[in-house]
Structures are given as C-alpha cells and as structure tokens.
Structure 1
C-alpha cells in the first residue's frame, strides 16, 4: 500500500483514496458510461428525425450518416459535471462562476453547431456566436494576461488590457475552428479530443490551483471516449459541428481556468503544444488557400487537410486515425515535459491514454465484425 501511494504521488496524485481523486475518477466514468449507452439511442432518434450528413465529394460516407453525436457528447459531459458538483462541490465562488460560464458557452456552441449541421449557417453567423462566447469568458475573468506571456515585452496596462482581450478572443475562436476543421475522417477528432483532454488533465493535476479544470477535463475525456466507441471506422454516428465546437471551445476555455489564478500566460504553453496538430493543420490549410487566391479560406472546403493527406497515403481511415492519435499523444508528452511534469506522470499518462484508445477501437472493430457475420 505504501508503494502504491508513493507511486501515486510521483504521478501527481496526492491521496489516491481521497475525495478529490475519487471525484475525478467518478466524473470520468459517469461521462464514459452515460455516453457509451446513450449514443445508440441517440443514433436511432437521429435516423428517424433525419439528422444526417448526405454523401458528397468531400465526405467518406456512402449513405446518410447521423450527425448528432455532438449532442450525445455534450449530454454525457454535462451529466458528469453535475454528478461531480454533487459529490464534491467547488467552494470557491469565483471558480463556480467560471465553470458555469464555460458550460454556458459550451451549450451555446453546441446549439450553434447543431443548427449549422442541419440548416447550414453562414460563416459570419458562426463567427459572431464564437465572439459572443469568447466575451462571455472574458467578462467572467477567464482571460489571457499579455504581460504574463514568456518572451514578450511587458507593456503598460493601457495596452496590455486590449491586447489580452484580443489574444483571448483569437485563442478561443482559433482553437474552436481548428478542431472543427480536423473533423473529416472517422475517429480523428474524437480521439484527438480524448488525448488532449487526458494530457491537460494530467498536467493540471500537478498544480493545486487547477482542481476545477481537472474535473471538467475528466468529464470531457470520458464523453469523448464513450462517443469514440461508435465513431471509429466504420462509424455509426458522427459528431458534426456541434461536437467539434464543443471539444475545441471547451479545451480552449479550460486552459484559462484556475482556482486562484484568473489570467494565464506560461500555462498556455502546454495546451498550445498539445493542440499543435489542429493548429498546424489549420495554418497550412489557410495559407494554401490564400496562396491559391481564395479570399475566404475558411469558407471553401477542400481536401488539403492533414487528415486528407494521411488518408491518401494510407488508404485507411483506421490507420489515419491511429497515426493522428499518436501524433497528438507525442505532442502531449512533449508539452508535459516542457511544463516540468515528472517523467513517471508523463509515462503513466501515455500508457493510460494508449490503453483506452486501444480498448474503444478494439470494441468498435469487434462489433463491426459481428455485424458482418450476422449479415453474411
């Protein structure tokens, strides 16, 4: 028992039998189990309601595919946070407000994404909503402090405040859209969302002022894992813009969350490195489209994304997803290392994440093989 406690402390778990760690485990399991069992029922309802993506030149599906998976992820996420609050309420009033702001912003983003999935909102409308939720976070104290960012000069408050606001908006809007643009191959965004959530969770667990962030990330990670069980190729349901917006926005917002510290600077290094895959993907796509003379690079979809390039080389959606999971996990491990996280914590995170991804992928493949046997 002493050996176990000593190892737990090495990976950032002060008391493995205490209410804090147990509440994180329960939050993760509630999100996982709820989403796991809720998703098939949601799929059935989505089919009846006609909530589906139709086949086209850019999509891989050959028949209508339910696109309401984001709703399932959101519901599992919210239920787990409610359970976590019931088990172990957050006692700092400011953090309660900030978590509620994140949840409200996530709800707005999910609703916007779902409406866009079904009725195709204009890019301007989506951008205005993203600006709105960014401002919602800012007025509740979730804001990047320009003067806390390493390697940049310290400027007077009269300049620092507007620069901080601008950076926060760019952070939220940029990461939200970066994650959304990655959603083109079965299992990619669900898996990357799970990887990033777990890496940020493990990193936040190393700091005493990030308890709320740990709980929120546990809920998101569990919901992503539950969804991935039905989205690994061949997918039974996709998340649509609703799910991609939820994952991108929540990861960007939670990286600003701290119990005592309401502005962040150096703490953004890890999420930026962990999210390097969607950031690099979006950057190269935008630059490429601008070079081709496209004035609105985000409004002209094509097949120049990283996942499309990898898919063209592998000719396998499964291999593409796994490769991008590995890239995301590698970036995550590097980010943790640069943040000063101890090696045992990094290795434990990599092993746990890899095991979870193997488990859900194996279950999806096995279920698909059974479907083929029954239909043969």
Structure 2
C-alpha cells in the first residue's frame, strides 16, 4: 500500500511524499492560508475603526464603504510563510537567494504603494513609475527575459537581444501587475484566479529540480490567496485593494522569471502566459476599447467594460460571475500544464485539489453569511 502511494506521488511530481522538501512546501501553504484566514478579521475591525475603506464609485460594485486593507493581511500571510520555509531550509536555494530577495523587496514596494493609493490616492504616473522600479529591480538582479530563447521567433544579434529582452521583461512585469489590478472588481474574482494561477504554476515548477525556490514562493502565495478568499467570496467582508491585487500580479510575474535562470524562457514563460491569459486578455480588450473611444490614458479612466462587469450584467450574480472566471482560469491552467508536459495524473490531482479548496472556502463564507443574517434578524 505504501509503495503504491509513493509511486503515485512520484507520478504527480512528488519525489518523496514524506520527505522534508514536500512537507516544507505543504507547511508553507498551510501557514500562509491559516495565518491570512485568522488575521483578516482583526485587520478588518481595525480598518473599520480608522476608516480604511473603499467608497462606491464607477468601478466598484459595493453600495457602502467596504474595508480595503485585505492586501496587508495577504502580504503578511505570504511573508510569514516564506520566513517559515526559509528557516527550515528544505532545499538548496543559495543560487537564487538574491533573486528571491529582489522579488520580496519588489512585492513589498508594490504593497506599500498600493496601500497608500487605496487610502489617499496616487497619480497614475507615480504608480507606473513605482512599477517600473519594481521591474528594474528584478532585471538588475538577473531576472529578465532572453529574447533569443523564445521559440518561433527569429534570432537577433546580441546587441539587440539584451535591450529587447529588458523591454519585454518590463512589459511582462508592469503589464501583469496592472492586469491583475484591473481584474479586481467583483467579490472573489482576483482571489480565486490568483489561487488557481499560483497552484498551477507551482505544479509546473515542481517538475524541475532547480525551481524549488519558485515552488516555495508560489505555495505561500497560493495559501495567502485561499485564506483571503474565505472572507472575500460574496458577500465580501473585506477587499484586497490595489495593495493585494498588485502583490498578486507582480509576484506571479516575477516568480515566473525564476524559471529562466537555467531553462529556456520559452519553456518557463509559455506556461504563465497561458495560465494568466484571463487577466491579460481582459486588460487588452479594455485598453483597446478605451483607446478606440478616444481615451488617451486608458489605465486612468475606470469603467465597467471588464469581463467581470459584462458577466455580472449577464448573470446578475456576483458568485456566479466569480465561479465562471475561476473555471476559465482553471481551463487556461490545464492547457498550460499540458503544454508544459506535466503528467496527466498530476493535472487531474491538481484540478481536483483546486476544486475542493475553492468549494471549501466558498461554502464556509456562504454559511458564515447565513449565520450573520440570522443573528441580525434575532
């Protein structure tokens, strides 16, 4: 029986089911999920007392002020879990320590800037400048795209390859950071999409022995997303704000670049490109639509032309909208894993785990909301 379980575990990419490496990844995920899950109620209560809340506007769907400090709890859960994993040192990550630190520093900058923007408002130009800084931070620490490694594209001279790769890296990081932020408009959408994306990328990265650092970071990010989603599924008790959305977008973009250190960028970026096709396509259609309407600054003029807004208008239900977009993200993730060559058994297990986790947090939130309603009536 034990041998059969161990054999199955190896078939889904787990070399040693009871080894320190796998258990550390699992502990990282559970730490992030539990810490975020339990930390958010306290953050919510404090946010209400000090007035950290989003007011209703043309982009938001809430009818009354809603605490917007969820991003701080997500970041705290993510960092705590990474610190725990780092202390355990289950795997050798010395070769990429500087890159991991660069990612964490950049994520911190995104969260702080997003939080300040949530509370006081920052100009689009300043936010873009900070995002550019975050992208440059990755580049100077060795995390960048090599254009000549991208399949199906012509090889260019080295004098052109480097600046072109830098430009693509900036576009990738800044673009995905904004894409995830723009997707945040309906309860549960970004939390669920980020959870699905992080888990799919984790499984894909686990197929390669030198991507252990990426696996740890993605486990922490996935756990934080799941813990947050417990409180954000409709009816939401708190939202992540720009702090949380940009944290997810930036970190997912940055961690995907860790795969370019020893493997070709074609293999390491194709999967995240497919996995995160939903926010990318949403942002693309919104930007093109606004430009077509003569809006010169498409990122600085919020409206309700996003996919989640269109779906909400069609379904009339926030929960159904979130579920549909989770399904789309999951389908994109499966396609990405197939392209990556992830074993079929691993794909099936990943889908089942994702569905179970999403059902569990949605069920817990709905049950809690019903209990809150009954308490109000009494």
TM category, shorter: over 0.9
For 1:121 and 1:56, the matched residues in 2 are separated by 16
Name stretches of at least 5 consecutive residues in structure 1 with no aligned partner.
Answer: none
Is 1:266 matched up with 2:267?
Answer: yes
Which residue of structure 2 lines up, in the alignment, with residue 87 of structure 1?
88
For 1:104 and 1:221, the matched residues in 2 are separated by 19
CA positional deviation for 1:93: 2.8
- Label 1:325 to 1:163 Cα distance change in 2 as closer, same or farther (>3 A): same
Equivalent pair of 1:143/1:264 in contact (CA under 8 Å): no
Matches within 5 A, 1:65-144: 65-88=66-89, 91-144=92-145
For 1:36 and 1:66, the matched residues in 2 are separated by 16
Which residue of structure 1 lines up, in the alignment, with residue 168 of structure 2?
167
Q: Please give the per-residue CA displacement for 1:45-66, whole angstroms capped at 9, x wherever unaligned.
A: 1111110001224322121100
TM-score computed with the length of structure 2 as normaliser? 0.98
Which residue of structure 1 lines up, in the alignment, with residue 50 of structure 2?
49
Equivalent pair of 2:12/2:343 in contact (CA under 8 Å): yes
Matches within 5 A, 1:251-290: 251-258=252-259, 261=262, 264-290=265-291
For 2:207 and 2:90, the matched residues in 1 are separated by 20
Q: Please give the per-residue CA displacement for 1:143-196, whole angstroms capped at 9, x wherever unaligned.
A: 111000001111111000000100000000000000000000000000000000
Which residue of structure 2 lines up, in the alignment, with residue 202 of structure 1?
203
Matches within 5 A, 1:165-244: 165-244=166-245
Name stretches of at least 5 consecutive residues in structure 2 with no aligned partner.
Answer: none
For 2:276 and 2:87, the matched residues in 1 are separated by 31
Matches within 5 A, 1:30-41: 30-41=31-42
- Label 1:256 to 1:141 Cα distance change in 2 as closer, same or farther (>3 A): same
Query: For this pair of structures, how many residues does the alignment match?
Result: 376
Is 1:304 matched up with 2:305?
Answer: yes
TM-score computed with the length of structure 1 as normaliser? 0.98
> SS of 2:201's equivalent?
helix
- Label 1:57 to 1:299 Cα distance change in 2 as closer, same or farther (>3 A): closer
Structural RMSD (CA): 1.1
Which residue of structure 2 lines up, in the alignment, with residue 17 of structure 1?
18
Which residue of structure 1 lines up, in the alignment, with residue 361 of structure 2?
360
Is 1:327 matched up with 2:298?
Answer: no
